[in-house]
Amino acid sequence: MKTGKVRHTVYLVLALAMLALAINRFEFGQGTLSVVAGIVWILFALLFITAQLYTLFVVNEQTKQQMLRIKRAKALIMQRKIEQRLRRARS
């Protein structure tokens, strides 16, 4: 198992623990704000679990490389915009 996979597995286990804690402490009898906060917490945990499962089982090396290329291209575009604004400010 690669280091990245281990890291995502640890994150997944922690998120599952967070979800179990939230479900065990969730009470419907308390105020509306408490119920809303509990539901938001559970939804956040489910979203995080879904992201970790996606990373572990769907993302392969080719997808990682493609995402890295996109990230670099966006950074380059942002750098060019900043340079253009600096040139305009100096003019």
Residue 5, CA distances (Å) to 56, 65, 67, 83 in order: 6, 16, 17, 38
Residue 36, CA distances (Å) to 21, 24, 45, 60, 72 in order: 16, 15, 14, 37, 39
pLDDT reported for residue 10: 92
pLDDT reported for residue 22: 78
Instruction: Give the tens place of pLDDT for each residue, 56-85.
Output: 888 787 888 898 999 999 999 999 999 999
Instruction: Give the tens place of pLDDT for each residue, 5-23.
Output: 888 899 999 989 988 887 8
